[in-house]
């Protein structure tokens, strides 16, 4: 199956790969997995006191589309408020990367990773 140029670009030069300090109270972690293909995705967001995403890092074990989806998402969320980030839809990710139908679940995984990270942030900060 042919990958789109954008997928290949993100796959070959992934943005924001790595980890943030998970013990930092400003850092939220979202972990999601896809049983169908065994992909595992970790997305970490560093969120300022006024709810703005200052930094994002990811680590994904999976196919090119899963890596590209998470890489793209780290670029998109930076500078956004958590409410804005929560609005990011998998369809937008799939469209940007021109994902074929069999790879749509990779974009769903990336959307769910954002949601899981925000959920983690809210749990951490909801004393």
In this complex, which beta carbon is closest to another protein, that of residue 42 or of residue 57? 42
In this complex, which beta carbon is closest to another protein, that of residue 112 or of residue 121? 112
Other beta carbons within 10 Å of 26: 16
Question: Could you say which of 8, 17, 31, 37 is catalytic?
Answer: 37
Beta strands in the chain (DSSP E): 27-34, 39-47, 53-61
98's CB contacts (< 8 A; 6+ apart) are 4, 6, 7
Other beta carbons within 10 Å of 102: 10
- To another protein, the closest distance from the beta carbon of 91 in angstroms equals 14
Active site residue 106: yes
Kindly list the residues in this chain that would bind another protein in the complex (CB under 8 A): 31-38, 40, 42, 59, 61, 104-105, 108-109, 112, 116
Q: Are 114 and 44 within 8 A, CB to CB? A: no
In this complex, which beta carbon is closest to another protein, that of residue 18 or of residue 38? 38
- To another protein, the closest distance from the beta carbon of 120 in angstroms equals 8
Question: Could you say which of 106, 109, 110, 116 is catalytic?
Answer: 106
Q: How far apart are CA 44 and CA 74, in angstroms?
A: 9
- To another protein, the closest distance from the beta carbon of 83 in angstroms equals 21
Active site residue 63: no
The residues annotated with a catalytic role in the active site are 37, 106
């Amino acid at each position: 199956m042919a990958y789109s140029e954008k997928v290949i670009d993100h796959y070959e030069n992934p943005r924001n790969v790595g980890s943030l300090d998970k013990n930092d109270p400003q850092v939220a972690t979202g972990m999601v997995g896809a049983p169908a293909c065994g992909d595992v995705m970790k997305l970490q967001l560093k969120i300022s006191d006024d709810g703005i995403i200052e930094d994002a890092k990811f680590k994904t074990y999976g196919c090119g589309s899963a890596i590209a989806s998470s890489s793209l998402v780290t670029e998109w969320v930076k500078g956004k408020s958590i409410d804005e980030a929560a609005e990011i839809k998998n369809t937008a990710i799939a469209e940007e990367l021109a994902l074929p139908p069999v790879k749509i679940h990779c974009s769903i995984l990336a959307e769910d990773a954002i949601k899981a990270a925000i959920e983690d942030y809210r749990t951490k900060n909801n004393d």
